[in-house]
Amino acid sequence: MKTKLFFLLCILFLFSCKKNDSSKTAAQPEYELKLPSATAISFPYTDSTNFDNFKEENILDSSQVNFLTLKEINHQAQKFYLKYKIPFSQAFESYVVSYQDGEHELFTTLINYDKKYNIVDKIDLSYDETAESQFRKSSTIWKDSIKIEDISYTEDQPKIESIVYKISDDGKIIKK
C-alpha cells in the first residue's frame, strides 16, 4: 500500500513539474514584432542613399524602434525608416535603416541582430550631408562582404577611401 501511495505521489509531482514548466515557457518574451515589409536585396547591391534619392517610406513606430533598439544607434534621430533586409545568413537577421541626424545629415545603417534581436554589430553604409556638401559615403554589398567608400570633396579632386569588411558567420563586421 505504501509503495502504491509513493508511486502515486511521484506521478503527481512529475505532472505538477511539467505544468509549471509550460507556464514558464508562456511567460518568456516573444521575439516577434510586426515590422513594415522590407524587401530582401540581391547581391551585389549598391547603397548610395542621399537626400536626392531618399524616400520617406516604411517609417517605424516607437514600439518597433524600441524593439530594434535603434535609439542606441542614434538617440537624436526622430524618425527611422526600414529600407531593406540583407540575406547574409540564416543565423542572424540583417536590417538596413535610414535616419536623419538633424536637418543636414542622412545616415543609412546596416544592423545585424541575433535571433533574439540583440544587436550583434552595425555599420554605416551610406551618408550624405547638405550643410557643406563635402562628405558622402556609399557601399557595395556582396554575400559575405561590404566595400564602403568614403568620399571627401574638400580638395580640388574628390578623395575616395575604400574599406572592405567581411561578414562573419555570427554577424560581426570585420575590417579586412
| 83 against 155, higher pLDDT | 83
Question: What's residue 58's pLDDT?
Answer: 87
| 15 against 174, higher pLDDT | 174
Cell of 167: 561578414
Residue 128 is classified by DSSP as E
Q: What is the pLDDT of residues 100-157, one digit of tens each?
A: 887 888 999 999 999 999 999 999 999 998 777 788 899 999 999 999 999 998 888 8
Residue with grid cell 530594434, as numbered in its chain: 68
Can you tell me whether residue 54 is helix, strand or coil? coil
**Which pTM value belongs to this model?**
0.77
| 52 against 8, higher pLDDT | 52
- State the Cα–Cα distance between residues 1 and 131, nearest whole angstrom: 88
Q: Is the pLDDT of residue 25 over 80?
A: no
Q: Which residue stretches of the chain are H helix? A: 2-27, 62-67
Question: What's residue 156's pLDDT?
Answer: 86
Question: What's residue 18's pLDDT?
Answer: 47
Question: What's residue 11's pLDDT?
Answer: 54
Q: How far is CA 58 from CA 18, 47, 83, 107, 117, in A?
A: 43, 17, 7, 15, 19
Contacts of 30 (CB under 8 A, 6+ apart): none
Contacts of 115 (CB under 8 A, 6+ apart): 31, 91, 92, 93
Pairing of strands 39-40, 80-85: parallel
Angle at 143 between CA 142 and CA 148, to 5 degrees: 30
* Average pLDDT of the residues in 24-42: 59
Most confident of 14-23, 31-40, 92-101: 92-101
End-to-end CA separation in angstroms for the chain: 73
Question: What's residue 32's pLDDT?
Answer: 52
Q: Is the pLDDT of residue 33 over 70?
A: no
Count CA atoms within 13 Å of residue 42 on its CB side: 0
Cell of 130: 547638405
Q: What value does the mean pLDDT of the chain take?
A: 82
Per-residue confidence band for 92, with pLDDT thresholds at 50, 70 and 90: very high
